[in-house]
Amino acid sequence: MADFPQIHAAWQRRRALVREQRLDAWRLVHGAADGMEGLSVDDYRGRYLITVEAEAWLEDRAGLEAALAEVQEELRPAFAPKFYWVANLPKQRGALPGEEIDRFEVVEDASRFEVHLGEGPHTGLFLDQRENRREVCKLAKGRRCLNLFCHTGAFTVAALQGGASEAVSVDLSKNYLAWLERNLELNELEDRPHRSVASDAAAYLERAARGGEVFDLVILDPPTFGRGKGSTFSTIRDYGRLLAACLQILSPSGRILACLNTRKVAAEEFRDFLKEAAKTARRKVLRRPAPPPDFPETAGAPGALKAYWIA
């Protein structure tokens, strides 16, 4: 790792975490917080997703791969690592030519998830949500859960593993909902009370309120830019409408996990905005959970994901 001592340092900082928690999928390099601005590296059981936001990181790809291979040598000596490069540059976006697509499972605590490497930036599992999935699992027992923008259903799996009385998962994409079904099967949860709804989230919330539906646990994790007609989340104002609709269908003892994924809005700004919305509904915003240890935040390098619980 001679040319990339930061990789060695990043591994030193995470070694105990990865070992103790037996993590299959975790972040090795988190940009500026690990002294490598514009670069992130995620390990999915020996397959590395290398995301480049600064062109300079493409100059010595072989050197970087060699440094990453040394980490795998220690972690999984019998496995030859694979490298999946993704560009997130002004002129170039998406997967760079390289390894063939790989689809396989990773384990997180007691859950299994199907992940895809080589199809671009999204693998099917958001690693920065690990602690929030754990919290959902802990809170879910006997609760009716709504997972909005559910994607491949990682939060749905967590809620059902935790003993949710029922879960409803909403996403515009039928492909992601099919992936969610596969994740439920992987965890032998397919017979548990669960409903997938292919719908725009805002439209679903309207129908749910009209139908008198009530939920005890709501996960609100929209993309920064939505694809639904007339529903982009480019501004925090759009978020406000969604949140108000969630508060309307929340049971008196219910909780909302409100997430926002952008570096453009600071955590404090998001918290103040949530506080305002919660006050009108006579609810409270709880403390922000600490970011996962493999996604460290520093003053100069705030994280993209902000998540708060509303009770």
Ligand X SMILES: C[S@@+](CC[C@H](N)C(=O)[O-])C[C@H]1O[C@@H](n2cnc3c(N)ncnc32)[C@H](O)[C@@H]1O
CB of 198 to ligand X, least distance (A): 9
- When the beta carbons of 79 and 225 are compared against ligand X, the nearer one is 225
C-beta neighbour count of 46 within 10 angstroms: 18
CB of 172 to ligand X, least distance (A): 4
Output the six-digit token pair for 153. 């259903």
> What distance in Å separates the CA atoms of residue 235 and residue 260, rounded to the nearest whole number?
11
CB of 100 to ligand X, least distance (A): 24
CB of 157 to ligand X, least distance (A): 10
CB of 6 to ligand X, least distance (A): 28
- When the beta carbons of 167 and 170 are compared against ligand X, the nearer one is 170
**HSE-CB for 199 with a 13 A CA cutoff:** 16
Q: If you ran DSSP here, which 8-state letter would residue 26 be given?
A: E
- When the beta carbons of 70 and 105 are compared against ligand X, the nearer one is 105
- When the beta carbons of 75 and 247 are compared against ligand X, the nearer one is 247
User: CA torsion angle for 18, 24, 29, 30 (degrees, to 10)?
Assistant: -100
- When the beta carbons of 121 and 302 are compared against ligand X, the nearer one is 121
> What distance in Å separates the CA atoms of residue 82 and residue 80, rounded to the nearest whole number?
7
Applying CB under 6 A, the residues found at the interface with ligand X are 126, 129, 149, 151-152, 154-155, 170-173, 176, 200-201, 221, 223, 226-228, 231
Question: Which residue's Cβ lies closest to ligand X?
Answer: 228
> What distance in Å separates the CA atoms of residue 304 and residue 266, rounded to the nearest whole number?
9
